[in-house]
Structure 1
């Protein structure tokens, strides 16, 4: 074979050998890639099959980190805020010895439920909560145990610097930082829940929610309620301070209450918010509306009603607690709190007119405000004449104390009913939602009667007076139903007051449930307990409310005016 032919064969052999090598390398590379993707795909299939078992692992991650806006009072004082806490979780599949794990954890968390925790650890879930809301010290101690399969997540927890001071107003959040009561629940209903679900509720992007509450006045109110509960050995007490010109609630409290930082007793029936979520027969405070109704129907302060004998309806007889046994002017009916006179006032308008007036005053419908805990008033299904007579002096109809205060505000502010608010509201804004329910002259007459009742010698509200602040008001001592009958020894007392009476700006209403006589006292009527509570609240809070004392106006001119009104 010639040399050129041999050379060509050699070259061709080299080319075939190098081509085989390249092809083998390509096949190996492709095999590697296929293998890698096969492993990845296999793992994905595995995780997909395990997703149901490990669903709890990823559940709390976003929701529990959702922020809530701060809640502040009208002056910017913080009432509620978010703080970071630590929650302990476990991955049971990584825990070798559940018994040892629980035993070691219990040295740091002595209240740990052994049985429940053991069931969770043996249940085969991929993720379980062991305990939420640990303190930094507890977190540090658990970390020092060095337990495998146990870890922490940072969560947001609601903190209330004032503790129980405004608990019934602020309300509560649940373990996932969602509002479930009070203004916390209202805030969620205004779009916060939607922001949280989309992950847009970042702390830095949320503006504080400002309330109408004045923390200084709120503290005074609660302090007086706690003292009253002890002083009068009552089962409950409550109060509200309301701006009559705007409808703003400046303070509201009800005790027993709870600490929203540790709300273990928040759902106890004795800890409900009696001011807005409880309905009661408000006793003689309702005579404010009966008297205003008579004035609105055409009566005057000098109109005379025959209170010389009891009113009888079938087997029922209406008598006066301290009857005068003679005809009384409308002014005297109010001053002496005559049940008989109030019954005659109701007869001026008739049964239908009576109900229509109370409905117009907002006492028969569920109140509209931001607070979710609002009870619906209770009235007879069918009003009869006897119902009208008893309701005229505060029995036979139940409404909330807050509604009573709102209605009284309309009698003081020129006759305009303004639904209450727990958010700031100007007088201009209030004017847009106000409803004229009585004419201004009726309001002027009622201001006179309130002031007279707190200053006249026989007035039931004299213990509510505070020198320099021109206080007026009306007592209410209602017998409670025990065993289906009214008891003369078990009472629900109230006092509704306004001040300063020359230009009423605030309503203060107090309640005391089942008070007992103080040592040295034979009775426990509203004038002896609910009225002094009002005086204490006004005396301590008037300066914070911007009301300056005026000692130039004394009671004498009012008494002269009263004598002229009834004797002229």
Structure 2
């Protein structure tokens, strides 16, 4: 800014020439300068006032808009958000298909110690060992009197235990809040749920992680806060599951079995209503896995999913159903059953000599190994292998459990004539009871492929048409006759039209060959046979039935009666009423007019050498 001089020389000279007073020029310039300064100050003040007014308008306008938004919104409880929290302890519940709680969270406490703050370490160690008998008093004392500054005592305790520790009065013993996973039904559905453990943890919280079963398979889903605490709804029905475990446990005891597995599956959806493996465990106190020996000796081993068994004569319906589908045979076709039958260096026998010929239906009813092999030979190895693959017997089941991949069936790499023969009657290919349940469900579902699932109400794509509906109906009719007049007569339950097949397979030795007195007995069934709704599989590991007639290890004497008792207990729980109009035997009669009893099935495969 250029300042105008108060006494400019040119004007002063001109004023003196005209006789004017030069002081007036200075006074006028001083006045103009003061006016300019005042105008500048006024403009600055006006600008500041405008800026302050704008700020006030903006601030009060924002507050007003926020108040209006809050006034028009739904009221809700405030939620604390900690974006920097490293440990997420929230975990969704798991329920059965009807909303009954199978797994939930419980607020509890942990105990930890600051040894350097302790007044009487010796007394603290003694009292803790009294409250928690699994703790070592001497080890606690060494830890309390050592150089450690921090020590976990117990990760989770009950309120009673917390009060007992509090009564010790030791300032070096401290409590931290945390959530723990609780399974209120104890052993029930333990293999399905799997269990949980702690991941990242500190003194005030702990991360709960799934370690097995659906807890592990859905770990991310269960911990995802985006689901807003919605529970994971499983397909199992808690009362049905409890009843299955009770009956199966009793059957396992009566039959002197080492282990047992049971599966109840909905034919149309593949949803599993109950699945049990015995012996089992309590997921609230999950045992440690075995580090050596046979994995199946551990209660953690899931026989229904992980068990790889040669399932014996339950496989015989597969080549027969395929041959019916391809119209190679019909239920009344005569099949040569002359025994023994030779394939290369091997000789295949039947338990009894059934004569030179049986109908295709009686091959299943009497459980003829030779007749089944004859039908498999009509199919050829390639077609037989492709059909078993279509049934899902070559791949792990798609069940939503982390254990599913470990149940990979043991399938022969080569498929020569002798393999095709032995596989036709359930030897040489090892699969889990769940594989068998899915395969039988496919037959019961009109030949449409069924995949097992543990999730309730999930929409799934329609399965592949593996068999024609007509062939599937004929196969079920044959299985019904196995129960009414064949090897599974002990499985017949009046009013429920059980259709099924027994299978008794010798257990393989770890170093080759088979045991002579150890078997896996299985009964695979469908009911009601006239309109199949459910598949039931019962497998017993090393059973022995003792009666006045002596000992028996066949499925007809062990697994079949257990399955019958299961149907009696489970059918009313699933809303299935007993029927008095037995329609299926009339349907089956047109496939097989004559009726003859047949003994229990047995497999013999002997080398000619």
Question: Shared fold (TM-score greater than 0.5)?
Answer: yes
Q: 1:339: which partner in 2?
A: 369
The Cα of 1:559 is off from its aligned counterpart by: 6.4
Change (3 A) 1:178 1:399: same
Contact 2:440-2:535 at 8 Å conserved across structures: yes
Change (3 A) 1:354 1:525: same
Contact 1:242-1:507 at 8 Å conserved across structures: yes
> Which secondary structure state, in structure 1, belongs to the residue aligned with residue 502 of structure 2?
strand
The Cα of 1:121 is off from its aligned counterpart by: 4.0
For residues 265 and 232 of structure 1, the distance between their equivalents in structure 2, rounded to whole angstroms, comes to 28
Contact 1:257-1:266 at 8 Å conserved across structures: no
1:495 to 512, 523, 537: 523
Q: 1:142: which partner in 2?
A: 165
The Cα of 1:108 is off from its aligned counterpart by: 2.1
> Which secondary structure state, in structure 1, belongs to the residue aligned with residue 285 of structure 2?
coil
Q: 1:169: which partner in 2?
A: 192
Q: 2:577: which partner in 1?
A: 548
Aligned pair count reads: 494
Map Cα deviations across residues 199-258 of structure 1 (whole Å, 9 max, x no partner): x489xx311111110111111110111101110111001100000100000001011000
> Which secondary structure state, in structure 2, belongs to the residue aligned with residue 93 of structure 1?
helix
The Cα of 1:546 is off from its aligned counterpart by: 2.1
For residues 84 and 63 of structure 1, the distance between their equivalents in structure 2, rounded to whole angstroms, comes to 19
Q: 1:391: which partner in 2?
A: 423
For residues 110 and 400 of structure 1, the distance between their equivalents in structure 2, rounded to whole angstroms, comes to 41
1:153 corresponds to 2:176: yes
Q: Which has the larger radius of gyration?
A: 2
Change (3 A) 1:134 1:549: same
For residues 501 and 566 of structure 1, the distance between their equivalents in structure 2, rounded to whole angstroms, comes to 19
Contact 2:332-2:591 at 8 Å conserved across structures: no
Q: 2:60: which partner in 1?
A: none
2:94 to 40, 63, 71: 71
> Which secondary structure state, in structure 2, belongs to the residue aligned with residue 142 of structure 1?
helix
Q: 1:511: which partner in 2?
A: 539
Change (3 A) 1:354 1:326: same
Query: What does 1:6-155 correspond to in 2, within 5 Å?
Result: 66-95=89-118, 98-114=121-137, 116-118=139-141, 120-121=143-144, 124-155=147-178
> Which secondary structure state, in structure 2, belongs to the residue aligned with residue 501 of structure 1?
coil
The Cα of 1:557 is off from its aligned counterpart by: 2.8
Normalised to the residue count of structure 2, the TM-score between the two structures is: 0.77
Q: 1:434: which partner in 2?
A: 463
Q: 1:19: which partner in 2?
A: none
For residues 266 and 220 of structure 1, the distance between their equivalents in structure 2, rounded to whole angstroms, comes to 27
Query: What does 1:80-479 correspond to in 2, within 5 Å?
Result: 80-95=103-118, 98-114=121-137, 116-118=139-141, 120-121=143-144, 124-176=147-199, 177-190=208-221, 192-193=222-223, 195=224, 200=225, 205-264=228-287, 269-270=296-297, 271=299, 272-298=301-327, 299-374=329-404, 375-425=407-457, 429-430=459-460, 432-456=461-485, 459-479=486-506
For residues 172 and 189 of structure 2, the distance between their equivalents in structure 1, rounded to whole angstroms, comes to 41
> Which secondary structure state, in structure 2, belongs to the residue aligned with residue 217 of structure 1?
helix
For residues 541 and 494 of structure 1, the distance between their equivalents in structure 2, rounded to whole angstroms, comes to 18
> Which secondary structure state, in structure 1, belongs to the residue aligned with residue 276 of structure 2?
strand
Segment drifting more, 447-456 vs 114-123: 114-123
The Cα of 1:69 is off from its aligned counterpart by: 1.3
For residues 321 and 121 of structure 2, the distance between their equivalents in structure 1, rounded to whole angstroms, comes to 73
Map Cα deviations across residues 334-373 of structure 1 (whole Å, 9 max, x no partner): 1111101111111112222221111111001111121111
Contact 2:120-2:170 at 8 Å conserved across structures: no
Contact 1:88-1:151 at 8 Å conserved across structures: yes
Q: 1:11: which partner in 2?
A: none
The Cα of 1:563 is off from its aligned counterpart by: 3.9
> Which secondary structure state, in structure 1, belongs to the residue aligned with residue 108 of structure 2?
strand
Contact 2:296-2:303 at 8 Å conserved across structures: no
The Cα of 1:84 is off from its aligned counterpart by: 1.7
> Which secondary structure state, in structure 2, belongs to the residue aligned with residue 300 of structure 1?
coil
Change (3 A) 1:373 1:63: farther
Change (3 A) 1:510 1:143: same
Contact 1:234-1:514 at 8 Å conserved across structures: yes
Normalised to the residue count of structure 1, the TM-score between the two structures is: 0.82
For residues 491 and 217 of structure 2, the distance between their equivalents in structure 1, rounded to whole angstroms, comes to 35
> Which secondary structure state, in structure 1, belongs to the residue aligned with residue 545 of structure 2?
coil
Change (3 A) 1:481 1:241: same
